[in-house]
Amino acid sequence: MAYLNSKEREDLADELINLKFNRAKGKIRRMDSKSRLAYLRNVQDVNQWATRYELPTLGAMVTLIEAHDLKGEGRARDVHYELVQVIVAPTAENNT
Protein backbone atom coordinates (compact mmCIF):
# COMPACT_ATOMS: atom_id res chain seq x y z
CA MET A 1 0.00 0.00 0.00
CA ALA A 2 1.23 3.51 -0.81
CA TYR A 3 2.03 6.16 1.75
CA LEU A 4 -0.56 8.83 2.51
CA ASN A 5 0.10 12.13 0.76
CA SER A 6 -0.58 15.52 2.36
CA LYS A 7 -4.16 15.77 1.01
CA GLU A 8 -5.04 12.28 2.30
CA ARG A 9 -3.55 13.13 5.71
CA GLU A 10 -5.66 16.31 5.92
CA ASP A 11 -8.78 14.38 4.91
CA LEU A 12 -8.07 11.74 7.56
CA ALA A 13 -7.65 14.41 10.26
CA ASP A 14 -10.93 16.07 9.23
CA GLU A 15 -12.72 12.72 9.34
CA LEU A 16 -11.34 11.68 12.73
CA ILE A 17 -12.11 14.98 14.50
CA ASN A 18 -15.85 14.33 14.06
CA LEU A 19 -15.69 10.93 15.77
CA LYS A 20 -15.66 10.06 19.45
CA PHE A 21 -12.31 8.92 20.86
CA ASN A 22 -12.99 5.17 20.81
CA ARG A 23 -14.42 5.28 17.28
CA ALA A 24 -11.40 7.25 16.06
CA LYS A 25 -9.06 4.83 17.81
CA GLY A 26 -10.78 1.85 16.18
CA LYS A 27 -10.68 3.41 12.73
CA ILE A 28 -6.96 4.10 13.04
CA ARG A 29 -6.22 0.55 14.16
CA ARG A 30 -8.22 -0.92 11.26
CA MET A 31 -6.44 1.24 8.68
CA ASP A 32 -3.06 -0.46 9.11
CA SER A 33 -2.54 -4.04 10.22
CA LYS A 34 0.91 -3.08 11.57
CA SER A 35 -0.34 -0.09 13.56
CA ARG A 36 1.40 0.50 16.87
CA LEU A 37 0.33 2.47 19.92
CA ALA A 38 3.16 4.88 20.77
CA TYR A 39 1.55 6.31 23.93
CA LEU A 40 -1.89 6.46 25.53
CA ARG A 41 -3.31 9.57 27.24
CA ASN A 42 0.07 11.08 27.91
CA VAL A 43 -0.10 14.59 29.37
CA GLN A 44 1.59 16.89 26.85
CA ASP A 45 0.10 20.23 27.92
CA VAL A 46 -2.15 21.59 30.63
CA ASN A 47 -5.59 19.95 30.37
CA GLN A 48 -4.61 18.00 27.23
CA TRP A 49 -4.09 14.27 26.91
CA ALA A 50 -2.44 12.89 23.79
CA THR A 51 -2.63 9.41 22.28
CA ARG A 52 -0.35 8.59 19.34
CA TYR A 53 -0.51 5.76 16.84
CA GLU A 54 2.18 4.95 14.31
CA LEU A 55 1.01 3.59 10.96
CA PRO A 56 4.20 2.31 9.28
CA THR A 57 2.52 0.86 6.19
CA LEU A 58 0.79 4.19 5.49
CA GLY A 59 3.77 6.34 6.52
CA ALA A 60 1.87 8.40 9.09
CA MET A 61 1.67 9.17 12.80
CA VAL A 62 -1.77 10.06 14.16
CA THR A 63 -2.04 12.00 17.41
CA LEU A 64 -5.44 12.31 19.10
CA ILE A 65 -5.61 15.18 21.60
CA GLU A 66 -8.34 15.22 24.24
CA ALA A 67 -9.47 17.73 26.83
CA HIS A 68 -11.62 16.93 29.83
CA ASP A 69 -14.53 18.59 31.55
CA LEU A 70 -15.43 18.01 35.20
CA LYS A 71 -19.13 17.89 35.96
CA GLY A 72 -20.65 17.83 39.41
CA GLU A 73 -19.16 18.68 42.78
CA GLY A 74 -17.39 16.88 45.55
CA ARG A 75 -17.01 13.12 45.33
CA ALA A 76 -19.74 12.78 42.69
CA ARG A 77 -17.68 14.35 39.91
CA ASP A 78 -17.84 12.93 36.41
CA VAL A 79 -14.98 13.37 33.99
CA HIS A 80 -15.93 13.69 30.33
CA TYR A 81 -13.15 13.57 27.75
CA GLU A 82 -13.66 15.24 24.38
CA LEU A 83 -11.53 14.91 21.25
CA VAL A 84 -10.40 18.46 20.44
CA GLN A 85 -7.61 18.04 17.90
CA VAL A 86 -6.22 15.43 15.51
CA ILE A 87 -2.72 15.69 14.06
CA VAL A 88 -1.72 13.43 11.18
CA ALA A 89 2.00 13.80 10.44
CA PRO A 90 4.21 11.93 7.97
CA THR A 91 6.90 9.54 9.17
CA ALA A 92 10.54 10.05 8.20
CA GLU A 93 10.23 7.54 5.34
CA ASN A 94 7.18 9.29 3.85
CA ASN A 95 8.35 11.86 1.28
CA THR A 96 4.90 12.71 -0.10
- Between CA 53 and CA 75 the distance in angstroms is 34
Q: How does residue 1 score in pLDDT terms, banded at 50, 70 and 90?
A: low
| Predicted pLDDT of residue 53 | 97
Neighbours of 63 (CB within 10 A): 18
Residues in the chain: 96
Longest dimension (CA), the chain: 52
Cβ–Cβ < 8 Å for 47, 68: yes
Q: What is the pTM of this model?
A: 0.87
pLDDT value at position 88? 97
Distance CA 80, CA 82 (A): 7
State which amino acid sits at residue 16.
Answer: L
State how far the Cα of 9 lies from the Cα of 44, in Å rounded to an integer.
Answer: 22
In this prediction, residues 24-48 reach a mean pLDDT of 93
- Tell me the per-residue pLDDT of 62-73, one tens digit each, with 9 for 90 and over: 999 999 877 777
